[in-house]
Structure 1
Amino acid sequence: MSLELALSDLAVEVAQEAGELARRRRAEGVHLAATKSSIADIVTEADREVEALIRARLLAARPDDGFLGEESAPDEGATGITWVVDPIDGTVNYAYGIPSYAVSIAAVRGSVVPGEWEALAGAVYGPAGGDLFHAARGHGAYLGDVRLSVTAETAAGALLATGFGYDPSTHDGDLATVRRVMTMARDLRRSGSAALDLAFVAAGRLDGYFERGLKPWDLAAGALLVAEAGGQVSLIDTDSARPMLIAGGTQVHDRLRGIVEEES
């Protein structure tokens, strides 16, 4: 078995276990642990518990790998491979009982700066719906056992998704981008989980996705899913505090990128 497939199998196994823990804790009732960048940017006790489980499982299986998670201190490791983890992507949804949240686990090689790493494997698991998306570099992207492919044509307009940052000072700029992008859209979705949005692009449930200010753990697994499903992923404005991620089939990606770059 190739390294990529072995890493993907491990990501799938751990994501499923972590997702079931998150689902159980949601059923028991959510307890807020802290706020982060703003009062709207929350972390639950479950986020921390789920990340601790993921970290322990990965450490047991591959003790020399690095780790970069949303809720704990990073570890560079010694193998050149780093696990990039979001224990519960869509924490606000999770806290409110909205079933749009996911566990996201990716293995990357090289720098952990988005756009500078080589993603090797990833899994995105939505416990509420039981959707398990996974990919290995060079081996395709899958939902369970079904191979995924991005949409190729959007004659009636593209179904797009986006998200907004927690800092209110950024909202005007984000809404201005939405106004420009709507010229090519059939409609717009805002799910609250970047990992699921990217997985849905890979599965053809969405035609494209764009968002500023994502963190490495938000996009690591999902971007690989899109690429392995035949799509395109770009990270632009990387010198700014809020780079823009654009993902979709080639046609949608290129049109989205053109609109966004016009405003830069």
Structure 2
Amino acid sequence: MTADPNRELLEIARRIAVAAGELAAARRAAGVEVAASKSSPEDVVTFADREVEQFIRRSLAEARPNDGFFGEESIDSASAGTSGLTWVVDPIDGTVNYLYGIPAYNISIAVVEGEPDPQTWRPLAGCVVNPVLGEVFTATDARGAHLGTKPLHVNPPVDLSQALVATGFGYNSDVRVKQGLVLAGLIGQVRDIRRIGAAALDLCYLAAGRYDAYYERGLNPWDHAAGALIAAEAGARVSGFGQAAAGRDFTLAAEPLLAALLEPIIRTLFDEAGL
């Protein structure tokens, strides 16, 4: 039997993500210290973010020395590699949750074919680990998504009024105000809104049927590389507006019929809010 190369890539991602989660959890138990702010004073990075990414990068280099690396905490030193594959990594997604001890943070590792650009890449495998809950979400291209060994499937179609919708907000306060206007326009049309502050988990929770839909603007490649593959392999439509791929401009993930209902509504609300 011929080995599945994507399965082999997934096993590497899973092994390293679980170990990285154990390291992040140990550092959280020992106490978290802010290392710096990034895009705004609210957008923080901890010393643990940097240490966990260094661990992941070193581990991937040992396992796959010819692959590229693109991580949140080392953008300036991203490497292209020679294999045509790139690992896209968020060492601790949900850093503010991590800082406050909220059990909704994760390690996200994906491997894509091509450049680390959501508009052009082809995701091959991804793993998202919540070390607090011990949940390991995985997917490979065209092979489905799983939580542990359990296959994942998005919820069946629901009326818009019954849809539980998740979202996230940017770090810039002016942007958050506009996102709040979008939320105010949407919340009366759906069952309710959830916001946990970790995009990869949002996408995985959608895949697991814990939400009916998820949308957000401002996601970076590492925020959704693994989670978007997991959601798509669970049956979600994951896209931007129109024919665009999911990315920084917009990401919507939902069962396809529900996504078709939500997209024009959210687009109109974005326009009205000036986003």
TM-score range (shorter-chain normalised) is over 0.9
Contact kept in structure 1, 2:220 and 2:248, CA below 8 Å = no
1:102 aligns with 2:106: yes
Select which of 144, 153, 162 maps to 1:157. Answer: 162
Tell me the matched-pair count: 263
Q: Distance in 1 between matches of 2:37 and 2:14?
A: 29
Residues 219 and 242 (structure 1), Cα distance of their counterparts in 2 relative to 1, 3 Å cut:
closer
Quote how far apart the aligned CAs of 1:180 are.
2.7
Q: Distance in 2 between matches of 1:261 and 1:92?
A: 28
1:206 aligns with 2:211: yes
Q: Distance in 2 between matches of 1:242 and 1:134?
A: 23
Give the secondary structure class of the aligned counterpart of 2:240: strand
Quote how far apart the aligned CAs of 1:153 are.
2.2
5+ long unaligned stretches in structure 2? none
Residues 259 and 109 (structure 1), Cα distance of their counterparts in 2 relative to 1, 3 Å cut:
same
Please name the residue that 1:140 is paired with. 144
Select which of 69, 93, 99 maps to 1:89. Answer: 93
Q: Distance in 2 between matches of 1:23 and 1:171?
A: 29
Contact kept in structure 2, 1:152 and 1:251, CA below 8 Å = no
| TM-score normalised by structure 2 residue count | 0.92
Cα offsets for 1:7-46 (capped at 9, x unmatched): 1111111100000000000000001111101110000000
Q: Distance in 2 between matches of 1:170 and 1:262?
A: 17
Identity across matched positions, percent:
48
| TM-score normalised by structure 1 residue count | 0.96
1:222 aligns with 2:227: yes
Return the letter of the residue paired with 1:105. I
Return the letter of the residue paired with 1:52. Q
Identify the structure with the greater strand proportion.
1
Return the letter of the residue paired with 1:39. P
Cα offsets for 1:112-137 (capped at 9, x unmatched): 11131100000000001111000010
Please name the residue that 1:5 is paired with. 7
Q: CA RMSD in A?
A: 1.6
Give the secondary structure class of the aligned counterpart of 2:193: strand
Select which of 180, 185, 208 maps to 2:185. Answer: 180
1:249 aligns with 2:251: no
Q: Distance in 2 between matches of 1:40 and 1:262?
A: 28
Quote how far apart the aligned CAs of 1:242 are.
4.9
Cα offsets for 1:45-85 (capped at 9, x unmatched): 00000000100111000000000000012101111100000
5+ long unaligned stretches in structure 1? none
Give the secondary structure class of the aligned counterpart of 1:176: helix
Contact kept in structure 2, 1:105 and 1:123, CA below 8 Å = yes
Q: Distance in 1 between matches of 2:263 and 2:82?
A: 37
Contact kept in structure 2, 1:132 and 1:143, CA below 8 Å = yes
Q: Distance in 1 between matches of 2:54 and 2:185?
A: 41
Please name the residue that 1:80 is paired with. 84
Quote how far apart the aligned CAs of 1:173 are.
1.9
Contact kept in structure 2, 1:115 and 1:235, CA below 8 Å = no
